[in-house]
Amino acid sequence: MPELPEVETIKNELTPHIIGRTVTNVTLFWEGIVRQPTVTEFRSRLIGREITGVTRRGKYLLVSLNSHEWLIIHLKMSGALLVRPDSSEPPRFTRAIIHLDNSTRVFFRDPRKFGLMRLVRETASIVGKLGPEPLEPGFTSPLLSQRLNKRSAPLKALLCDQKVIAGIGNMYADETLFLARIHPLRAGGNLSPKEIKCLHRAIRQVLQTAIKNKGASIENYLRPDETPGTAHLEFMVARQPGKPCSRCGEPIERITVRNRGTYFCPECQKENDSQ
């Protein structure tokens, strides 16, 4: 958390506030948020630069500058980017502020202090090893089959592996597998062609619906205007232990898969089922 839908929402809603604006100052309340380069160099290379674009790659937010450098932001577990007027007080847990020339400030709020910023001349060293974007046209059922081929790891772990597919995390992996009726412990390389198609369709449907609902505000995620997303209100299994399954009425169960809390319906997602 935040995952692809949350970062996509932040990108979409942050863009009109920052495109074409110049960075006038950078305030750091916690210098550990800057991972590259040094804090002094980070500030000197960022201040005075115009923001020319904002894009997303996986769970990373990529901000292009007129210096041909990139500000790369990863919100990690609890980060949020909030936009407030220059006269307002910083929200609690603010770790950094980016000041813009239109009297706007972007607050990097991060209660758990896992988030980070990097200023780099090229992005490949940070995002070059990420897997395909699941909402791009090139992400097809055959490509998904290729990514999972001969993989013995559980599907839940593979869906969360950013080198396999970019952007999916715990919540949307659980929702995807429920929609596809596949047990989270099934080995990735053991899916039938029909199951691959169901999984591909479920990935895209779950992510698209979550973006439409502006992400899931289960813990610390807020949109830039500080309003919550509503995607979590439609979750069928994610973080719903004991809740009756919407399909069959069986209680949703929680197990651990590769150290990740995982939610599923034991009736609709039988481990030994194959289609």
**Nearest CA among 81, 59, 52 for reference residue 8:** 59
- Assign residue 12 the CATH number of its domain: 3.20.190.10
The answer to the question of residue 270 being in a domain is: no
The reply to whether 117 and 219 lie within a common domain is no
Across the range 6-33, mean pLDDT stands at: 97
The answer to the question of residue 208 being in a domain is: yes
C-alpha pair distances (Å), 226 with each of 13, 80, 83, 122:
11, 9, 8, 31
The answer to the question of residue 133 being in a domain is: no
Does the structure show a pLDDT above 70 at 180?
yes
The reply to whether 79 and 145 lie within a common domain is no
The reply to whether 85 and 36 lie within a common domain is yes
- Assign residue 149 the CATH number of its domain: 1.10.8.50
Percent of the chain residues past pLDDT 90, beyond the cut? 93
Does the structure show a pLDDT above 90 at 37?
yes
**Nearest CA among 159, 185, 187 for reference residue 173:** 159
The answer to the question of residue 49 being in a domain is: yes
The reply to whether 122 and 168 lie within a common domain is no
Q: How far apart are CA 150 and CA 85, in angstroms?
A: 52
- The residue assigned the tokens 């020319």 is 52
Does the structure show a pLDDT above 60 at 275?
no
Does the structure show a pLDDT above 90 at 88?
no
pLDDT at 89: 85
The reply to whether 245 and 196 lie within a common domain is yes
Last residue of a domain, one of 127, 150, 179: 127
The reply to whether 220 and 154 lie within a common domain is yes
pTM over 0.75: yes
Across the range 248-255, mean pLDDT stands at: 96
Active site residues: 2-3, 59, 260
Last residue of a domain, one of 127, 152, 186: 127
Which domain, by its residues, includes 154? 141-264
Q: How far apart are CA 170 and CA 120, in angstroms?
A: 29
Across the range 219-225, mean pLDDT stands at: 91
**Nearest CA among 203, 166, 138, 189 for reference residue 74:** 166
The answer to the question of residue 188 being in a domain is: yes
The answer to the question of residue 16 being in a domain is: yes
The reply to whether 183 and 252 lie within a common domain is yes
The reply to whether 217 and 254 lie within a common domain is yes
Write out pLDDT tens, residues 93-149: 999 999 999 889 999 999 999 999 999 999 999 999 999 999 999 999 999 999 999
The answer to the question of residue 187 being in a domain is: yes
The answer to the question of residue 273 being in a domain is: no
pLDDT at 273: 64
The reply to whether 123 and 148 lie within a common domain is no
Cis previous bond, 154, omega within 30:
no
The reply to whether 99 and 158 lie within a common domain is no
pLDDT at 274: 58
Asked if 132 and 139 touch (Cβ cutoff 8 Å), the reply is yes
Q: Interior CA angle at 222 toward 52 and 133, to 5°?
A: 55
pLDDT at 85: 84
In this predicted structure, which of 17-31, 46-60, 80-94 has the lowest mean pLDDT?
Answer: 80-94
Asked if 242 and 230 touch (Cβ cutoff 8 Å), the reply is no
Asked if 72 and 42 touch (Cβ cutoff 8 Å), the reply is no
> What are the tokens at 5?
């839908």
The reply to whether 10 and 83 lie within a common domain is yes
pLDDT at 168: 97
The reply to whether 24 and 88 lie within a common domain is yes
Number of domains in the chain: 2
pLDDT at 1: 73
Q: What letter represents residue 111's amino acid?
A: P
